A and B are shown apart, each in its own frame.
Chain A
Amino acid sequence: MSTATATHDQHDHHPTGITRWLFTTNHKDIGTLYLWFSFIMLLTGGAMAMVIRAELLYPGMQVVDPNFFNMMTTMHGLIMVFGAIMPATVGLANWLIPMMIGAPDMALPRMNNWSFWILPFAALMLVAPMFMGGNFSSGQGPAFGWTFYQPLSGQYDKLAFFIFAVHLLGLSSIMGSINIIATILNMRAPGMTLMKMPLFVWTWLITAFLLIAVMPVLAGAVTMMLTDKYFGTSFFHAAGGGDPVLFQHVFWFFGHPEVYIMILPAFGIVSQIIPTFSRKPLFGYASMVYATAAIAFLSFIVWAHHMFTVGMPVAGELYFMYATVMIAVPTAVKVFNWTATMWKGSLTFETPMLWAVAFVFLFTIGGFTGLMLGVAPADFQYHDTYFVVAHFHYVLVTGALFAIIAAVYYWLPKWTGHMYDEKLAKIHFWVSAISVNVLFFPQHFLGLAGMPRRIPDYAVQFADWNFVSSIGGFVFGLSQILFLFIVIKTIRGGAKATDRVWDSADGLEWTVPSPAPYHTFETAPEIK
């Protein structure tokens, strides 16, 4: 991903070596940093998932102790959400938004540097307690689930680490979002009206507003936890007159938009890739923009569908059920649009297109189970089971992650100047696409049959599907090592990429050389 060769840099001095990366204010360098950071986090969170699947391979406890297992599920969730998916989409935004709108860089380059460099320290603070037990197996990382429900998380004695890590992550996200909004609203090339912007830019603009709206809410929640734990307040303690359910309302007011923060940029990516390889414009550009905005709006008013079992008044349950299933409408519009774009196209199946098509199929499955979960009476049976686990992994792995991988293959030639190894990339795709379904599809059955989530051991009737799921998990995990290999191989060499890379790719980023020069669009391009 790195444009390490200085030969393409027609411009003046930028520092080399480590200082280049530490002090950089260049959107491409910072994008690269974000992407590598998220990749490292993906492998870390993935390794934890492997521990989870190894313990669940057979009934009985074989690999880890229950507390360690809970720590793995918790850290896996936190790392994948805050360390892998979110930074990856920010990395893509950094690389692509200025090039897509014809801007020379991000609007606030120094803050951009800081937004990134907070992240590694936040991540360190988050994982540090895992190593504070003398030995690794008695690590004291958080073990209360990524949703850190009170009062359970209040029992954790290293809570301060977790809270400050969340604060830092939030700070980074807010600064990143301000930067993205400022860039998009102020730095578009003349003629690039809002309704001419590529959909990736649109989805990120809306995502950035979501982030600014909900990250402070999360910060509020963890600050109340902090004072409850260390300064004697009782926001969430029933015994002191507080309310543990209030915590869930606040958390999900952040948490539900959060899932759209992860998926909207993915929608944008897929909306870029499918038209390219269909050789046909996106069917309904305007309706895609409106659907994205509608989804973002709805995401603020449906949060309590994560809490149907807490005992809300029936009117509340009805409202949240109706509002939730409404999300199916704009989501369906999106899927229909991608379908109509492919219809009567002239399709080819280079690797980015394979991932994008897999996204459309598999994300839709996640959307269907989402609709099922939104139906409150049925949710009483689904809630907190493997059905939910299957649902959000279809949305976040075969949804968000698949789109991110598609994006990497799609823009990697632009970033590095080299074509990736198409044969290896296709192997990577097929192994991943098959194994991910072996991994997650059986989890629907497990949940429906009554297996709760977040348990380290299970009754023997769940043994067979867990075995199948674990095998799928190991293969899926290993196949991402191949991804790492392909990316490194592409950075180091490969067939020379043309400027346009894909014969019908559309957009400003394809008008600059490959690899993209260190500075692009210092004079604004002309938009027809």
Chain B
Amino acid sequence: MSAIQTINKKLVGFFCLALLAGPTSAWADYALNMTKGVTKISEEVYDLHMLVLIICTVVGIGVFGVIIYSLINHRKSKGAVAAQFHESTTVEVIWTTIPLVILILIAIPATGTLLKIEDSSDADVTIKVTGWQWKWQYDYLDENVSFFSSLSEASNKARQRDSGINVYDVKHYLLSVNEPIVVPVNKKVRILTTSNDVIHAWWVPALGLKRDAIPGYINESWFKAEKTGTYRGQCAELCGKDHGFMPIVVEVVDQDKYKQWVVAKQEQAIAEAAASGKAMSKSELMARGEKVYKGNCMACHQDKGQGLPPMFPALAGSKIATGPVKAHMDIVIHGKPGTAMQAFAQQLNDADLAAVITYERNSWGNSAGMVQPSDVKAAR
């Protein structure tokens, strides 16, 4: 998009703000309202939102109309003489009762919708969603499928300060992940949210679902998507430095496709478990380690291991990454309590851990030997 086009668009936006007319083609890019979404609940929520919005608009026009009439006609410069009336019980009873009646009219449908939202019984699929700083873990409890989902590499590169990448060229910038979750259409999916560290919130607007992920709690909620497609959302509760960079992507597919995906995930897990025990060459470890590093460590320790001291220490030349290998494995596997350094024992398998530790010990000028998956297994 050229600079002029950009500015033009901004100007159009600016004037639309003043107009607030119904949607026209020029508006197509501007989302002004809540999504209707693709579930019954999200539609009901949308209707409720519109009901209250319309009531407020009507009341607003009434009250503001009276004030504006006064401002125009009851001004001293027009010769208005002040009436001295005040206190009227009748008037005050009327204008206390009217809002009360309106509120009851709103509360009735709101109660109905709320009861439906909180009824997560009889689910077809149950997914446990665990928040981590700063990615999501998905466990399909009955299917034995489990994986992590984090910001896609393209978005992650582009979002670095002064990356030089035009974010308009990145597809679904900040709203794409390395691995989306897949769910079947027209099935009740129960979402159990919890967290491994701080509070996050799992939110997909099109599913009408937002629920906090809280350590020590398992929160229940559900959705039933009625249209296949890809729906995107984000973490909605401030969870630290990279809160803005842990998106959610849900792919709603038909039943057959979903079954195929589950089988493929299960086979992949078996293959990975088998490979994880084997010894690896240094170049294999380094290549795999670099990938793991980028996905899990770089956000804090940075691309050249320089860290963001003092909160996130450097790894290049650090005591841990060049000293005894045992201490290094310990901190990566078990984390460091009271700091942002988390335990990776559950997030990464033996091969990934061995690879990333080897990578950290042999990059950015460090040269401190290799670690094999079997070493990690022993250190767990």
Contacts and interface: CB of A to CB of B under 8 A. Distances in A.
A347 B107 contact: no
Interface string A320-352: 011001101100110110011111111111000
Interface in B81-140: 81-88, 91-92, 95-96, 99-100, 103, 106-107, 110-111, 113-115, 117-118
A155 B196 CA distance: 13
A280 B103 contact: no
Contacts of B340: 155
Interface in A31-78: 59-62, 64-67, 70
Of the four ranges (under 10, 10 to 19, 20 to 34, 35 or more), the interface on chain A belongs to 35 or more
B13 A465 contact: yes
Interface in A261-281: 278-281
A287 B164 CA distance: 61
Interface stretch (A188-196, A440-448, A513-521): A440-448
A45 B60 CA distance: 32
A381 B245 CA distance: 19
B214 A381 contact: no
Contacts of A279: 76, 82
B60 A381 contact: no
A156 B196 CA distance: 17
Contacts of B32: 445, 448-449
Of the four ranges (under 10, 10 to 19, 20 to 34, 35 or more), the interface on chain B belongs to 35 or more
B216 A238 contact: yes
B163 A60 contact: yes
A284 to B, nearest CB: 6
A200 B362 CA distance: 69
Nearest to A286: B87
A143 B92 CA distance: 47
Interface in B58-76: 59-60, 63-64, 66-67, 70-71, 74-76
Interface stretch (A114-122, A201-209, A372-380, A407-415): A372-380
Contact of B87 (A284, A450, A459): A284
Contact of B114 (A59, A60, A309, A318): A318
B173 A459 contact: yes
B145 interface: no
Contacts of B234: 450, 452, 455
A309 B210 contact: yes
Contacts, number: 311
B251 interface: no
A245 interface: yes
A380 B243 contact: no
A125 interface: no
Contact of B215 (A151, A287, A449): A151
Contacts of B96: 329, 332-333
A322 B359 CA distance: 57
A285 B87 contact: yes
Contacts of A326: 103
B335 to A, nearest CB: 12
Interface stretch (A6-14, A363-371, A477-485, A489-497): A363-371
A310 B74 contact: no
Contacts of A465: 13, 30
A378 B64 contact: no
Contact of B308 (A65, A314, A461): A65
A311 B217 CA distance: 9
B310 interface: yes
Interface string A287-330: 10000000000000000000001110010011001100110110
Contacts of B113: 377
A396 interface: no
Of B85, B87, B103, most buried by chain A (CB within 10 Å of CB) is: B103
A468 B14 contact: yes
Contact of B76 (A321, A341, A346): A346
A245 B103 CA distance: 29
Contacts of A380: 45, 117, 208-210
Interface string A429-469: 00000000010011001001110111111111100110110
B141 interface: no
B313 to A, nearest CB: 12
A378 B103 contact: no
Contacts of A349: 75
Majority SS of interface residues in chain A? helix
Contacts of A448: 31-34
A368 B49 CA distance: 12
A283 interface: yes
Interface stretch (B199-207, B278-286, B345-353, B371-379): B199-207
B241 interface: yes
B2 interface: no
Interface in B265-289: none
Contacts of A340: 91
Nearest to A330: B96
Contacts of A460: 167-168, 173
B216 A455 contact: no
B360 interface: no
B95 A333 contact: yes
B42 to A, nearest CB: 8
Given A333-B95, A457-B244, A371 B86 contact: no
A133 interface: yes
A66 B242 contact: yes
B92 A287 contact: yes
Given A317-B118, A452-B234, A456-B244, A372 B17 contact: no
A283 B159 contact: no
Nearest to B209: A380
Nearest to A384: B236
A385 B220 CA distance: 21
A346 B75 contact: yes
B318 interface: no
B106 to A, nearest CB: 6
Contacts of B235: 452
A332 B102 CA distance: 12
A131 interface: no
A115 B84 CA distance: 42
B205 A310 contact: no
A284 B88 CA distance: 8
B217 to A, nearest CB: 6
A311 B82 contact: no
A360 interface: yes
Contacts of A341: 86
A311 B222 CA distance: 12
B201 to A, nearest CB: 6
Given A244-B199, A280-B84, A377-B44, A65 B10 contact: no
B238 A329 contact: no
A74 B310 CA distance: 19
Interface of A: 59-62, 64-67, 70, 133, 138, 140, 143-145, 149, 151-152, 155, 157, 238-239, 242-245, 278-287, 309-311, 314, 317-318, 321-322, 325-326, 328-329, 332-333, 335-336, 339-349, 357, 360-361, 364-365, 368, 371-372, 375-378, 380-381, 383-385, 438, 441-442, 445, 448-450, 452-461, 464-465, 467-468
5 contacts: A345-B82, A346-B76, A371-B56, A381-B49, A459-B172
Interface of B: 9-10, 13-14, 17, 29-35, 41-42, 44-45, 48-49, 52-53, 56, 59-60, 63-64, 66-67, 70-71, 74-77, 80-88, 91-92, 95-96, 99-100, 103, 106-107, 110-111, 113-115, 117-118, 158-163, 165-168, 172-175, 197-199, 201, 203, 205, 208-212, 214-217, 219-221, 233-245, 308-311, 338-340
Given A325-B103, A347-B71, A442-B13, 15 more contacts: A152-B240, A238-B217, A309-B201, A309-B211, A311-B211, A317-B114, A332-B96, A336-B95, A342-B70, A372-B53, A384-B201, A450-B35, A452-B235, A457-B159, A464-B9
4 smallest beta-carbon distances between A and B, as pairs = A238-B216, A455-B244, A449-B31, A311-B219
